Amino acid sequence: MAKGFVSAAFFLVIYLAIFVPHFASTTVPAIFVLGDSTADVGTNSMLPESLARADFPFYGIDFPNSRPTGRFSNGFNSADFLAKLVGFKRSPQPFLYLSSLKSGLRRRMFRGVNFASAASGLLDITGKTEKIVPLPEQIAQLASVISNRTAVMGQAATQAMLSESLFCISIGSNDIFGYFLTNSTVPPEQYIGTLISSYEGHLKTIYNLGARKFGIISVPPIGCCPSQRLYNATGGCFEPANAFARAFHSALDTLLTKICSELPGLKYSLGNTYEMTVNVIENPSPFNFTNVEAACCGSGRLNGEQPCTPKADLCSNRNEYLFWDLYHPTHAASKLAALTLYGGGPRFVTPINFAQLAA
């Protein structure tokens, strides 16, 4: 009798663990993530021809079981930490993975999907040669998830779920890298204008699909990442790229204020990752960083001349580095960024933080 009770309770626990994972503790019904390598949790690993990938060591060395997952990090990335802060275990899985599952398991998409693909940008040409999922295609995938959900749950329930869900978007850095790589002669103001009008179109499309809560992550000081410091003889940040990042943030801030007044019910948080990162670079010790210039994994000057591979040099004190590889933050830096986006004040996230957006 007692034994029967125990095993019934046991099965109930298993049942709940499988079918309603973490439901009670989440503040939003689902989380949808779009963007580039700062949020990719394995999309590009599902693309055999993609050149922008992180599915080999030393990527993932601090992930559970030291497993490379396609994240451009030694462990988790900011999409994981943000999802965790709103009550999930980590980022939802990549669309390409979830859509490869048997139809019953695709119900997992109802708790969220990550569409982010490394090397993508706001412009269609950004990342094209790397064989990735461009942003318009990420949005088309989102539309297909929504139409399937609508077929199962009906229009009203689906729209209600979407209006409460968090839509995180982290994109723009690769477009700016592309400007410098191609030695573009387009005037910077005009280039930023093109990026922002593309962003406007994409945000409106996502809004029209039913999204209302937008967590927007701006471009960090990309001139300070190890690969860009190589363009500065002193090893300082490459100022022209940083000037672009600042101009991008300011134009994005203006755009969001505008569309917020045009689109009823839209709420957003704009994370100023430029300000957050410069704040750490200028005064690293309170954050327990001892190296904010070099990559932990890589080779050459500042470990920024070559990508992170199994043959690269690897630092031992990974928690003390801001940069994991020549472009990307460490697990520790991503965690700090997510905590600041979630709970930070108006210097770092405006007009409300991600916690207020999710509530």
Ligand X SMILES: *[C@@H]1O[C@H](CO)[C@@H](O)[C@H](O)[C@H]1NC(C)=O
Q: Which of 66, 182, 184, 197 binds ligand X (CB under 6 A)?
A: 182
Instruction: Choose one: 2-10, 155-163, 234-242, 308-316; the region binding ligand X (CB under 6 A).
Output: 234-242
d(CA 79, CA 358): 14
Annotated catalytic residue within 36, 40, 80, 325? 325
- Give the contact letters, 192-231, x = binds to ligand X (CB under 6 A), - = no: ----------------------------------------
Q: 264: how many CB neighbours lie within 10 A of its CB?
A: 8
Angstrom CA distances, 34 to 94, 120, 314, stand at 10, 10, 30
If one asks whether residue 148 binds ligand X (CB under 6 A), the answer comes out as yes
Residue 301 per-residue DSSP state: G
Pick the closer one to ligand X by CB: 161 or 260. Answer: 161
Q: According to CB under 6 A, which residues from 24 to 63 bind ligand X? A: none
Q: Does 107 bind ligand X (CB under 6 A)?
A: no
d(CA 256, CA 234): 37
Residue among 154, 155, 150, 122 at smallest CA distance from 138: 122
| 285: contact with ligand X by CB under 6 A | no
Strand, coil or helix: what is 315?
Answer: coil
* Catalytic one of 78, 91, 117, 328: 328
- Contact predicate 228/264, CB 8 Å: no
Dist CA 219 CA 216 (whole Å): 10
What single DSSP character describes residue 296?
S
Among residues 99, 279, 291, 306, which is the contact residue for ligand X, using CB under 6 A?
99
Q: What x/- string results for residues 287 through 306 when contact with ligand X is judged by CB under 6 A? A: xx------------------
- List the one residue from 84, 106, 131, 202 that touches ligand X (CB under 6 A): 106
SS (H, E, C) 53-70: CCCCCCCCCCCHHHCCCC
Q: How far apart are the first and last CA of the chain?
A: 44
**Which of 239, 253, 305, 320 touches ligand X by CB under 6 A?**
239
Q: Does 110 bind ligand X (CB under 6 A)?
A: no
**Of 232, 279, 309, 350, which one interacts with ligand X (CB under 6 A)?**
232
- Bridge partners of 349, per DSSP, are 271
Q: Residue 325 catalytic?
A: yes
Select 41 or 196, whichever has its Cβ closest to ligand X. Answer: 41
Shorter beta-carbon distance to ligand X: residue 25 or 234: 234
Residue 22 known to be catalytic: no
CB-based contact 141:109 (threshold 8 Å): no
Tokens standing for residue 261: 């007044």
Residue 150 sits in the site that holds ligand X (CB under 6 A): no
Binding site for ligand X (CB under 6 A): 99, 106, 144-145, 148, 182-183, 232, 234, 236-239, 287-288
Give the residue numbers marked as catalytic. 37, 325, 328
